[in-house]
Structure 1
Amino acid sequence: MLELQTTEAALKQPLPAKRQSFWGKVWRYRALYLMLLPGLLYYAVYQYGPMYGVVIAFKDYNVIKGVMNSPWADPWYKHFKAFYDSPYFMQTLSNTFLISVYKLVWGMPPGIILAILLNEVRHSLFKRFVQTVSYLPHFLSMVIVYGLMIALLSQTDGLVNQWVKELTGTTIPFLQSTDWFRTLLVTSGIWQHVGWSAIIYLAAIAGIDPTLYEAARCDGAGRLRMMWHITLPGIRAVILLLLVLRLGHILDAGFEQIYIMYNVHVYPVADIIDTWVFRTGLEQMAFSLATAVGLFKSLIGLVLIIGANRLAKRWGGAIW
């Protein structure tokens, strides 16, 4: 009797669906894969295709002979050693790390804070106005931003220096001072991009379950408590994701911004790897040296992004 009941129960269970082949799944979701195709082609042509040029770092590249016909460097690490033996190696490396860390430490919190504050604004018109004003500088060219800095901070006729001169009788060389350069660099970057970064955090905040706030209000929690215990934990994964992605580019430090802002007076605190490569490698047509330094940066970025992701796993925010 027991066996009969077991057999009947087994017959009533639905049969397992037939396992689809790989190409069967592709055909089933062909519309999605078709939309994905342009993005894949872009990365294949412009990101992975040019990677064959990495071999230039191990060759004495000659423009006329081309990549494949140029002779191999002897020894193979010749161009890496040239960068390491350069008297500017430690200076450019330390400047790159310091500027990147300053931008990371001081650049991320303002976007998070602005997003949380905007989320608390109940007047929609005022909220949209602040959002628009804060992210408009993101679309300005760095040349325009530097022009504004000159108009404000120029030692001869800058608006700020005119006020300083009226108060103290002297002027401050903001743009030529090694003491002020990094502060101005980080501050101008925050002003230009804080609104744009806040958009990402606002989108993450919008995905938080509103019933959590309702439950907190019923328990007597104020706005500060809800921000600290609901909003911040709710966007933790996004913060960790952006942190991991920015750590992968920690050796970039912002070539365009620094190249436009720096001058011979601030080289000791402003010269980074990219600007040194541009002057030494590209202007002198030392393409093998420039490629070797680029590969060196990429390998360090890879190690940092893997390490950061492993660390993020402990906090429940890993991206793979």
Structure 2
Amino acid sequence: MRALKQKKAQAVPESQMSLGRNFRKYWPYYVMVLPGVIYMIIFKFIPMLGSVIAFQDYSVYQGIGGSPFVGLKYFKSLFSYPDFQRIFTNTLILGAYKILFVFPIPVVLALMINEVRRTKLKKTIQTAVYIPYFLSWIIVAELVFDFLGMNGIFNQIRQALGMDPILIMQQSKYFRIVYVISSIWKEAGWGTVVYIAAISGIDQSLYEAAEIDGASRWQRMTRVTLPLLVPTVVTLLLLNIGSFMELGFEHVFSLLTPMTYSTGDIFDTYVYRVGILQAQYSLTTAVGLFQSFIGLVLVVVFNKISKKVSEDGGLW
């Protein structure tokens, strides 16, 4: 009888196991994930309760409970702000540039590094690409200003070639180019590591079968590696689209100059000026909700598109 019960228990699919039995069986994994869950609750979910500030005339002294509700007042103020169109346009353009030009680079680098056969050279390239990720945006911005300054390497080369120096960081038309290039230099390494890890999990027998069929290295990369990498690419793309409106305050603010506000001023820098310097917390909370709403809509739309394009695509 006892053996029969054990067989029945083993026959039950894991998806239908009770929470208690599942926890007893996999408790080490639950313990491992617990710090991440606690972090998400404390720093992500609990702060969401403060979103009510966007609908209040918030006062630090009265608090959330004592501040009067004003409905959509601050959303109307945001949309009627004279520079709203400029800030919104700059955010959309820089977000689109980041998706179109920055996001694909790690995929290409991972595919190229994976084709390097010498282990030492491969590790050296990975390290060189990954090191900039550990630098803060303040340091990166200083390096950019030094490189593109009047006496920087860029202008020294131009002068050596007989051309006049250019103050790139003081001209608004170059700001977006500098933003994209600096993003690639700093962040491409992290994405490359993620994709290389995904590539390393591909079954090697597939490459062996392709080689036996006479496939070249290029064909093995484009017809074996790349198709199997698509689900990872789609997942990371959706995560990037979710933060489409959040371009990173430190990055943009560190590169901004008074002459480049026309093309570089975004919602993150606007929130700093208005929310931190002028203490307009309700207005900046409304800005945050607006950004989150746009991100949510984009994720839902692109998630549906990815499901239609790829069977393995989509987050849910």
Counterparts in 2 of 1:181 and 1:63: CA distance versus 1, 3 Å:
same
Alpha-carbon deviation of 1:34? 2.6
Distance (whole Å) between structure 2 residues aligned to residue 77 and residue 277 of structure 1: 18
Structure 1 portions without partners, runs of 5+ = 1-11
After superposition, residues 206-225 of structure 1 pair within 5 angstroms as: 206-225=200-219
After superposition, residues 300-319 of structure 1 pair within 5 angstroms as: 300-314=294-308, 315-316=310-311, 317-319=313-315
Distance (whole Å) between structure 1 residues aligned to residue 147 and residue 269 of structure 2: 25
Distance (whole Å) between structure 2 residues aligned to residue 31 and residue 201 of structure 1: 27
Alpha-carbon deviation of 1:20? 5.5
2:192 counterpart (172, 194, 198): 198
1:26 aligns to 2:29 (yes or no):
no
1:49 counterpart (43, 46, 53): 46
- Number of residue pairs aligned between Structure 1 and Structure 2: 305
1:252 counterpart (246, 261, 267): 246
Alpha-carbon deviation of 1:47? 1.2
CA deviation digits over 1:119-143, x for unaligned, max 9? 1111001111111111000001111
Q: Determine if contact 1:165/1:171 at 8 Å carries over to the other structure.
A: yes
Q: State the partner residue of 2:269.
A: 275
CA deviation digits over 1:3-43, x for unaligned, max 9? xxxxxxxxx9x974388543343334333323332222221
Counterparts in 2 of 1:210 and 1:24: CA distance versus 1, 3 Å:
closer
Highest Rg: 1 or 2?
A: 1
CA deviation digits over 1:185-243, x for unaligned, max 9? 10011011112211111011111111111111111111111111111101000000000
Residue identity (%)? 39
168-177 vs 222-231, which moves further: 168-177
Distance (whole Å) between structure 1 residues aligned to residue 48 and residue 235 of structure 2: 26
1:150 aligns to 2:148 (yes or no):
no
RMSD: 1.7
- The residue type equivalent to 1:81 in the other structure is K
Q: State the partner residue of 1:128.
A: 123
Distance (whole Å) between structure 2 residues aligned to residue 108 and residue 121 of structure 1: 22
Counterparts in 2 of 1:128 and 1:28: CA distance versus 1, 3 Å:
closer
TM-score, structure 2 normalization:
0.92
- The residue type equivalent to 1:116 in the other structure is L
Q: Determine if contact 2:138/2:250 at 8 Å carries over to the other structure.
A: no
Distance (whole Å) between structure 2 residues aligned to residue 131 and residue 188 of structure 1: 18
1:90 aligns to 2:91 (yes or no):
no
Structure 2 portions without partners, runs of 5+ = none
Distance (whole Å) between structure 1 residues aligned to residue 122 and residue 7 of structure 2: 55
1:187 aligns to 2:181 (yes or no):
yes
TM-score, structure 1 normalization:
0.91
1:230 aligns to 2:227 (yes or no):
no
